[in-house]
A = this chain, B = another copy of it.
Amino acid sequence: MRDFTTYMDIALAEARLAAERGETPVGAVIVANGEVLAQNGNRTRELSDPTAHAEILVIREACAALGSERLPDADLYVTLEPCPMCAMAISSARIARVYYGAADPKSGGVEQGPRIFSHKQCHHKPEVYGGINEAESGDILRAFFEARR
């Protein structure tokens, strides 16, 4: 039986692969009933697609695999606090639980700024757990941006 730190390890591996591709290093995994449905990292540059954040890619992939626009049995693991776009996509997909790593004061949309899940215009609020392996997630991001300076 794998636990949530193991799934976050998969997300962290995807973040490292994203860094190797020159993408902002964020990785995500979707899990349902103990099975990984999708795992991916940020690909906005590679795909010339500003919506190709790790969370959006795994949501689209898991939904396509199940033939459903809703994933009520699924949990999402992501190495960084989701931005407002991704938070709303998580809600629309009816994902049950979100586990994230580092908080993102600059661009986050869950615990700060627009706090997407806190408004009545948000029709599904997942359970949210932050700070999972946050030091490792933050280290990957810091190393990436320091190397590019």
Contacts and interface: CB of A to CB of B under 8 A. Distances in A.
Interface of A: 44-45, 47-51, 56, 59-60, 63-64, 66-70, 83-89, 92-93, 105-109, 112-116, 119-123
B112 A121 contact: yes
Contact of A116 (B64, B70, B84): B84
Q: Which of A87, A109, A121 has the most CB of B within 10 A?
A: A121
This chain: copies in complex: 2
Nearest to A64: B48
Contacts of A112: 121
Contact of A114 (B70, B93, B121): B121
Contacts of A89: 50-51, 85
